[in-house]
């Protein structure tokens, strides 16, 4: 019988769920992407305008395959694969697949920007938000970020946990061997410039320095141009195809809005009544009807 608690709902929709620990403190969390797919990703269509669906086919049997007929494999020699099942992949590092252990804390602004990879939010997924809020408050006050490693979807990541606006973010970082050193690219120690050359440029830098960042520069201009074109064509009814009740293909990123709703519901959950007795987790009376 499936669980229907908000926490279970969260875990079902999350990219990953598990516990975040520091010292011996355990915080159940669910991880969601903080990146949206581009709003203006275009769909591929048939000549009659019908949206196409993605299918995987077997070239040998020349037919479409169901998801259950597909496995993943590693190419050991050209054309020769060793199959790895989900159980085997998850069993390769069982602890790391379910727990992020923050064993070191560093000042957040000391993390080299070259290493930032992808951004996620962590939602509290336990019955109590106390340990989550405790970590978030502490990190915001000390300016420290927690570092750890974990395995998600068959890949290991270094992760930096940071607090922002009372929420915990997870930023995956690249491993050292995933970022090239300048020397490896043949970029040798540049010739030392003259004082005069440096000062001339420094003056120009100062002249172009601003106190505030104009967020306008981060706008997606192509998306704006595309939307202008789309609105024009919609207004004139040109090249518009109406979909007759088509069920949208299940895309993994589909319904980013739904995930945000789940996240909002999760963080808006009221404190459990059992907190009066200082329990960190477990055994609280679930609030009936709270959605």
Partner 1 sequence: MAARAIWKGTIRFGDVAVPVKLYSAVEERGVHLRLLHAKDGTPVKQVMVHPGTGEPVPHDQVRKGYDTGEGSIVILSDEELESLEPEASRDVEVTEFVEPRLIGYPWYDRPYYLGPDGNEAAYSALARALEAEGKEGVVRWTMRKKEYVGALRAEGGHLELITLHHASEIVDASTLPRPKGRAPEKQELQMAEQLVKALAGEFDVGAYRDEYREKVLELVEKKARGEALKLGPPKRRKAEAASLTDVLRASLERVKEERQVA
Site for partner 1 in 109-148 (CB under 8 A): 109-116, 119, 121, 124, 126, 128-139, 141-142, 144, 146-147
Q: Is 13 a residue that touches partner 1 (CB under 8 A)?
A: no
Do the Cβ atoms of 129 and 269 come closer than 8 Å? yes
Residue 1 CB, shortest distance to partner 1, in Å, is: 19
204 binds partner 1 (CB under 8 A): yes
- In the complex, the smallest distance separating the C-beta of residue 62 from partner 1, rounded to whole angstroms, is 10
Contacting residue, 2, 208, 252, 291, with partner 1 by CB under 8 A: 208
Q: How far is the CB of 291 from partner 1 (least distance, A)?
A: 14
Q: Candidates 39, 286, 287, 290: give the one binding partner 1 (CB under 8 A).
A: 39
CA-angle at 251, arms to 248 and 256, nearest 5°: 100
Min dist CB 204 to partner 1, Å, is 4
| Cβ pair 4, 85 in contact under 8 A | no
Beta pairing, strands 25-33 & 167-173 = unpaired
Q: Determine contact, residues 234/240, Cβ cutoff 8 Å.
A: yes
Contacting partner 1 within 172-201 (CB under 8 A) = 173-180, 182, 184-187, 189-194, 197-201
Least distance (Å) between residue 287 CB and partner 1: 12
Do 287 and 128 touch, CB atoms closer than 8 A? no
For residue 6, give the nearest of 270, 234, 198 by alpha carbon.
Answer: 270
Minimum CB distance to partner 1 smaller for 14 or for 139: 139
Those residues whose C-beta lies under 8 Å from the C-beta of residue 73, and which sit 6 or more positions away, are: 81, 82, 83, 84
List the Cα angle 132/137/138 in 5-degree steps. 100
List the one residue from 47, 78, 250, 289 that touches partner 1 (CB under 8 A): 47
Cα separation of 117 and 28, whole Å? Answer: 23
The least CB distance from residue 4 to partner 1, in Å, is: 20
Residue closer to partner 1 by CB (options 8, 179) is 179
Binding mask 244-263 for partner 1 (x = CB under 8 A): --x-------------x--x
Minimum Å gap between C-beta 12 and partner 1 is: 15
Based on the shown chain and the rule CB under 8 A, indicate whether residue 235 belongs to the binding site for partner 1. Answer: no
Tell me how far apart the 2 most distant CA atoms of the chain are, in Å.
75
Site residues for partner 1, window 78-107 (CB under 8 A)?
81-84, 87-99, 102-107
What is residue 214's DSSP assignment? -
**For partner 1, which residue of 21, 29, 172, 262 counts as binding (CB under 8 A)?**
21
Other beta carbons less than 10 A from residue 128's beta carbon: 20
Residue in 2, 23, 78, 289 binding partner 1, rule: CB under 8 A = 23
Of 9, 11, 16, 22, the one binding partner 1 (CB under 8 A) is 22
Total of chain residues touching partner 1, rule CB under 8 A: 183
Q: DSSP string spanning 248-266?
A: PP--TT--HHHHHHHHHHH
* Distance of alpha carbon 155 from alpha carbon 138, whole angstroms: 29
């Amino acid at each position: 019988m499936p669980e229907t608690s908000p926490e279970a709902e969260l875990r079902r929709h999350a990219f990953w769920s598990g516990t975040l620990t520091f010292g011996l403190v355990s915080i159940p969390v669910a991880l969601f992407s903080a990146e949206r797919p581009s709003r203006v990703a275009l769909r591929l269509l048939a000549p009659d305008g019908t949206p196409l669906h993605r299918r995987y086919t077997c070239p040998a049997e020349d037919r479409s395959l169901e998801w259950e007929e597909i496995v993943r494999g590693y190419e050991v020699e050209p054309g020769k694969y060793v199959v790895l099942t989900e159980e085997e992949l998850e069993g390769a590092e069982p602890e790391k697949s379910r727990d992020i252990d923050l064993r070191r804390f560093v000042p957040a602004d000391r993390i080299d920007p070259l290493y930032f990879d992808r951004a996620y939010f962590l939602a509290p997924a336990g019955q109590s938000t106390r340990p989550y809020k405790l970590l978030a408050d502490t990190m915001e006050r000390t300016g420290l970020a927690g570092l750890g490693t974990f395995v998600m979807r068959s890949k290991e990541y270094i992760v930096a946990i940071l607090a922002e606006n009372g929420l915990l973010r997870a930023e995956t970082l690249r491993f050292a061997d995933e970022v090239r050193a300048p020397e490896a690219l043949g970029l040798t120690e540049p010739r030392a410039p003259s004082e005069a050359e440096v000062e001339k440029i420094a003056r120009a830098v100062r002249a172009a320095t601003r106190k505030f960042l104009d967020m306008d520069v981060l706008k997606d201009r192509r998306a704006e141009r595309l939307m202008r074109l789309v609105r024009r064509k919609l207004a004139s009814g040109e090249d518009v195809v109406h979909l007759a009740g088509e069920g949208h293909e299940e895309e993994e990123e589909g319904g980013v809005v739904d995930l945000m709703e789940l996240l909002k519901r999760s963080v808006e959950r009221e404190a459990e009544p059992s907190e009066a007795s200082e329990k960190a987790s477990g055994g609280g009376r679930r609030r009936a009807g709270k959605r």
